[in-house]
Amino acid sequence: MRELEAKFFNDLCKAVEELLDGKEAERKFMLSGGIDSILLLTAYDKVFGAKDLKTYTMIGTNLKEIGYSRLYGQQYFKTDHTEIKVTLDDFLDRLHLIQNMGFTTVFQTMFYILMWISIEKADLAGATIIHGGGADPLQGSSNVFMYTATNQIAESRNVSVDEARDIIKKENYQKRIAFEVNSSAWLRSYAYKKVNGTEIAPYYSDHVSWLAYEPFSVTQPKSKRFFKSVMKYVGVKGVDKIQRVGLQLGTGLYYLLRKELEQAHGMDANKVIKKLSKKG
């Protein structure tokens, strides 16, 4: 395992260095406070030194990840850290942004609007924007529902359950890196391009893509065991306490927005989103 950890961290550093080579616009790092972004910041620090790097965390009512972004951003790496406060009104006031986008879920809507809130409040227009997107599919996806077809695939393809899980992991990665329209990756890129931002996403780099083809048992995506192990290998302390909270749920506003939409329109929140976002 130590060889894999060393290889991955070194390859991640190569990706960071290569992607930022020649980028002269001001660098701004989106630091969620989860394992993925903290590991990426660790690699950035190894290559360039993170002291005084501008880092940003979106905060709402859920404070689980804020403490970690403060700890590793401000205290551990001494970045120039800013917390961007997000409220329910921030989403409601920007619902017009989803017109003609063809969204079908509250999750899509929240992610897209969060991108625009960050663009506005972190002044990302024209900046070099570094983020940890792509880490989840690289590890195999923390979405356990994705693996419900494991037994079916094992039977249909005449492979073991472990092999079937690895097949799902690999095929999901290949699908996610295709940047399908209205996927999180596509929406982020779409928003950044609209403001002439230069997107830096090292977890999508070919340097680290080999991890997607390692067995599920190695990466353990739900617990992010491999990423935590890499961080321990490079000497970052306290990583076992860090919990994964996705961007939408991480703000603590997902269920509040659903409730507000359902009360205001008298129907399921996802149906409201389809109506508001309908194309044409």
The whole-number average pLDDT for the span 215-239 is 91
Residue type, position 139, single letter: Q
Smallest CA-to-CA distance from 60 within 234, 187, 248, 226 is with 248
Could you write out the three-class secondary structure of 96-114?
HHHCCCCCCCHHHHHHHHH
Residues 104, 187 contacting (CB under 8 angstroms): no
- Dihedral (Cα; 207, 54, 60, 278), 10-degree rounding: -60
Calculate mean pLDDT across residues 240-267: 78
Residues 257-270 as b or e (16 or more Cβ within 10 Å = b)? bbebbbeeeeeebb
Mean pLDDT of 219-233: 92
The token pair that represents 79 in the structure block: 């970045």
Q: What span, in angstroms and rounded, lies between the C-alpha atoms of 48 and 253? A: 35
Which of 41-45, 59-63, 259-263 is predicted least confidently? Answer: 59-63
What mean pLDDT is predicted for residues 149-153? Answer: 92
- What domains appear along the chain, each with residue ranges and CATH number? 2-276 (3.40.50.620)
Residue-level pLDDT at 75: 78
pLDDT tens digits for range 119-128 = 999 999 999 9
What number of CA atoms fall less than 13 Å from residue 58's CA on the CB side?
27
- Band of residue 178 on the pLDDT scale cut at 50, 70, 90: confident
Average confidence (pLDDT) over 135-161: 90
pTM here is 0.92
Give the pair of three-digit tokens for residue 171.
């095929």
Q: Are strands 80-85 and 198-200 parallel, antiparallel or unpaired?
A: unpaired
- Lowest mean pLDDT: which of 37-41, 44-48, 235-239? 235-239
Q: What is the DSSP letter of 26?
A: P
- Give the pLDDT of residue 177: 86
Measure the CA angle with vertex 146, ends 151 and 217; round to 5°: 70
State the pLDDT at residue 35: 87
Residues 212 and 8: beta-carbon distance below 8 Å: no
Q: Say whether pLDDT at 234 is over 90.
A: yes
Sheet holding 80-85, edge to edge: 80-85, 54-59, 27-30, 128-130, 198-200
Query: Amino acid letter at 132?
Result: G
Output DSSP code: residue 95.
G
Q: 141 Cβ partners below 8 Å, 6+ apart?
A: 169, 172, 176, 221
The chain-wide mean pLDDT, for the chain, equals 90
Report which residue type is found at 59. Answer: I
Tokens of 122: 């972190």
Residue 236 is predicted with a pLDDT of: 86
pLDDT value, residue 133: 93
